Structure 1
Amino acid sequence: IGPSFLFLYNLQVPWHVPCGGVPYGDGNLVFIANDWHTALLPVYLKAYYRDHGLMQYTRSIMVIHNIAHQGRGPVDEFPFTELPEHYLEHFRLYDPVGGEHANYFAAGLKMADQVVVVSPGYLWELKTVEGGWGLHDIIRQNDWKTRGIVNGIDNMEWNPEVDAHLKSDGYTNFSLRTLDSGKRQCKEALQRELGLQVRADVPLLGFIGRLDGQKGVEIIADAMPWIVSQDVQLVMLGTGRHDLESMLRHFEREHHDKVRGWVGFSVRLAHRITAGADALLMPSRFEPCGLNQLYAMAYGTVPVVHAVGGLRDTVPPFDPFNHSGLGWTFDRAEAHKLIEALGHCLRTYRDFKESWRALQERGMSQDFSWEHAAKLYEDVLVKAKYQW
């Protein structure tokens, strides 16, 4: 089955499938295409329908979650798309590394009526040579129809008051009102479950993420000699590259009294680390939006992040003089910068309890819900509707 069949079938669904009781037809209809996997949809909408006077009131919105993955292929395979020959120019792209190629993402960005990027900070980065992954010029040219909107989180799944993963094994649900006792109980339960020494006074650090170059786990590795020299505990959860999985296992063997490296994917443990840790490390080299820092703050866990993309948007740095900020940030993806930020974090945890409690309260008081993000998306939908 070629891509034309799949996308043309999807475009015709609203005429036949009774969504909400009756078929939508093509009036007041919008298709939302996420990343390169569906980037051809705006292209087929234009080439097969709107260029022929059909679906004139139908719009498409392209959402960029991660522009590093683009759907590249040889130019000579373009005929398989079954698009008009002149559409090749929308796909054709040249970059110094990959050379000339056909780029699905590039074509989708050009054809979409509106473009949403999953954070304002990531949108800014996409316009740069370093952050645009070869598509920076296209992003700049289409800046007039592009907006950055931070993702929301599911407040029923990621909510310490009702979290189903905290209802057993010694964990407990908690709220801002019961933060002190609830957080302490979850921390003790996590320490017991992972075989760490149960100590309320030791800072418990967490890392949850895919083990690849983007997430910056190597930066934690470079900082590991300093981390294990401190009176801390570190729990790392993730799966991905085999060498990085082996690295996690190595750290646990070498520093068994302080470090746990859980290799694999566990929703339950991710929730429990988020609830039980005092601070969450996110040293991502780039991060379009990031969700773990949002989950962490909802659970009173303070994020320490590399100030890129959505991390920069959602974690304003702690300012003890103005009693503001939600965590610690560092400005370069280097171990000594992480160490500097983490050092300030640990000192505040140990020596400035009131400031630490205020950080937790501010984080738990933020509105990271989809309700807020949905209102911003609605603005984009309305703008697309009246765009000609």
Structure 2
Amino acid sequence: MKLLFVAAEGAPFVKTGGLGDVIGALPKSLAKQGHEVAVILPYYDSIDAKFGDQLEDCFHFSVAVGWRQRYAGVKYIERDGVHFFFIDNRDYFYRGSVYGYWDDGERFAFFQLAALALMEKIDFIPDVLHVHDYHTGMIPYLLKEKFHWINAYKGIKTVFTIHNIEFQGQFGPEMLGDLFGVGAERYEDGTLRWNDCLNWMKAAVLYADRVTTVSPSYAEEIKTPAFGKGLDHLMRMESGKLSGIVNGIDTDLYNPETDGFIPYHFSKDDLTGKAKDKAALQEKLGLPVRADVPLFGIVSRLTDQKGFDLVVNELQHILQKDLQIVLLGTGYSDYEQAFSWFASQYPDKLSANITFDLGLAQEIYAGSDAFLMPSAFEPCGLSQMMAMRYGTLPLVSQVGGLKDTVEPYNEYTGQGTGFGFAEFSGYWLTKTIEKALYLYYENQDAWRILQENAMSRDFSWDTASLAYNDLYYQLV
């Protein structure tokens, strides 16, 4: 089968979050299964700086963005059996960052139009065209409404994946004619309209043959007003083609037996190295080196979505307990300042590292006993899976992908891979921390069983990709 992915980012070339991880790993796993797989990405200045000398310059062509004719260069590399094509336009993509510009609508309108034109030019007409998040959300619509006259495109099936429904791509309706070169009929009849805006995500949900999101629980949650961000009615209406598939992680990269960032290696059969990693992390960050105290790790953006309003409000109480916390992340300034202040008041209990450091992140995954991730909503989440790979037990709110990947400890059966709380409140966060502390201090044998359970879970993309494989075959 020929599979084509179009996205705004993809590791290892460019990544700002989970979307980049998916585009870096899923196509590679599908190629290993024997599919012919290609990916189309924008060519950002950051890609040019890191990979420019490795890419082949292929050709260039002109893209009609409304009344404008825009240059589109094409660069190429094959990596891990996947064909990567890059759309090059310096005006649009040499900006220093991936997102956040006043003309993001025009930038990604150009990218989508160029990607659709490119398929014919490189003679890669896919059986399934898989697009991701709002930046590519107009592609299923354009394929059926603007490019339907191209015979080669008529058999293409489309899949749209929602990585986060909060970001929908809402723009003025004049964009249809001004940038996409199509009429306003589908806006005027309400198909593309939401809140008096052109909504790219709505277009994708209505026009794609299948819609997926990144966990089964999140697929159910976005049908509700609490999580649907205004599109819950649409998700209920289109629920027949909506499904949730949990992301995987790169289990070669996140491997405690081979990780080059951690000082000591270990496995689920021998955790000696993990104890040494804990001591090394405590020493490195200026915490008392104590084997007997549970060390809680946090690697996260410090935002409300990640639940840090709960954490900050409860931190005074939490730090009265016999524990240590290591935090790594940046985000809202109020939360950065709060953690820094508490670290100054409790230097033996809290190390606040307001930055991002990939090596330190791996050391935290490996050296911590538990991993705190109390998200208000979490479409999938990857950190909890990474933590489990290192025998670090996640303590999570039971939403979205966290609910699907972390089995809360059952004190009666001894089963579980971490700890969870169902009611999103500071009270239940603190009570769940207390439950984890009790188990750590009173029943190390049970704690060890949870670690073994967590490290035995298969979160590899080779397994996760099988569900996508089945979905594509259902379509074609």
TM-score by length of 1: 0.91
The structure with more strand, counted as a fraction of residues: 2
State the distance in 2 between where 1:69 and 1:32 align.
Answer: 18
Aligned length: 368
**What letter corresponds to residue 132 of structure 2 in structure 1?**
N
CA contact (8 A) 1:47 1:84 kept: no
What does residue range 3-152 of structure 1 map to in structure 2 within 5 Å? Answer: 4-17=109-122, 23-24=123-124, 26=125, 28-50=126-148, 54-80=152-178, 81-88=180-187, 89-94=190-195, 100-152=196-248
What does residue range 174-185 of structure 1 map to in structure 2 within 5 Å? Answer: 174-179=266-271, 181-185=272-276
Superimposed CA distance per residue, residues 82-125 of structure 1 (whole angstroms, 9 cap, x where no aligned partner):
2222121322013xxxxx22211111111111111100010110
What does residue range 137-286 of structure 1 map to in structure 2 within 5 Å? Answer: 137-166=233-262, 171-179=263-271, 181-286=272-377
The structure with more helix, counted as a fraction of residues: 1
Q: What is the root-mean-square deviation in Å for CA atoms of aligned residues?
A: 1.5
- Which structure is richer in relative contact order (CA contacts within 8 A, separation 6 or more)? 1
State the distance in 2 between where 1:143 and 1:384 align.
Answer: 16
What does residue range 259-338 of structure 1 map to in structure 2 within 5 Å? Answer: 259-338=350-429
CA contact (8 A) 1:160 1:175 kept: yes
Taking only the aligned residue pairs, the percentage that are identical comes to 37
State the distance in 2 between where 1:41 and 1:101 align.
Answer: 18
State the distance in 2 between where 1:328 and 1:318 align.
Answer: 5
The 3-state SS of whatever aligns with 1:219 is helix
CA change 1:276–1:76 in 2 (3 A) is same
TM-score by length of 2: 0.75
CA contact (8 A) 2:295 2:323 kept: yes
**What letter corresponds to residue 39 of structure 1 in structure 2?**
G
CA shift, 1:8, in A, is 2.4
State the distance in 2 between where 1:350 and 1:82 align.
Answer: 66
**What letter corresponds to residue 112 of structure 2 in structure 1?**
F
- Structure 2 gaps, min length 5: 1-69, 71-105
State the distance in 2 between where 1:300 and 1:75 align.
Answer: 50
The 3-state SS of whatever aligns with 2:146 is helix
CA shift, 1:54, in A, is 4.9
1:365 maps onto 2:466 in alignment:
no
CA contact (8 A) 2:176 2:183 kept: no
- Structure 1 gaps, min length 5: 18-22, 95-99
The 3-state SS of whatever aligns with 1:50 is coil
State the distance in 2 between where 1:262 and 1:340 align.
Answer: 26
